[in-house]
Amino acid sequence: MHTSDRRPVRCAAASLILLGVAACSGPAFAYRPFDGTDAAVVAPGELEVELQPVGLQHEQGTQTLIAPWTVVNIGLSEGWEAVFEGRGETQLVPSGPTNLSMGGAFLKHVVVPGVLQDKSGPSVATEFGVLLPDSTGDSGVGASWAGIVSQRWDWERFISMSKPC
């Protein structure tokens, strides 16, 4: 067998291994604020609303309707924004009341302007604030402080350089 004849076999074997690892993985636990914010802020005086109108969450035999999940960003001054977030949760199976969860009030500041501010290099920001208790009383008040680094790559160029299996 030539080396080029073995390529499909290697790709199939690698795919099966990755599928097996994904299928056998257990539950993962994380804590907030790993929610995917970037190192950019809205312009002063501007308002940005991120809205997930409806979502469904399946977890340990329960189904929960997430409606809505909202993040509101308000530009305060150059490089600063206020962030308010929260989500409504209604347990469907078994049925339950609607609760407010994952609430918080934060300030985000761009520390080092970069690619997200039309400059060169990575953008660096920090976000800090208060985590609010949910409406069921299952959680208390907390604090959050995150360091954020964002970079942008030219994926079209990257993909053209890579070679498929």
**pLDDT, averaged across the chain:** 83
pTM above 0.85, yes or no: no
Q: What stretch of H or E contains 14?
A: helix 3-24
Higher pLDDT pick, 36 / 13: 13
pLDDT in tens, 80-130: 999 999 999 998 887 888 898 889 999 999 999 999 999 999 999 999 999
* pLDDT surpasses 70 at 32: no
Distance CA 77, CA 91 (A): 40
Give the rounded distance of the alpha carbon of 25 from its chain centre.
21
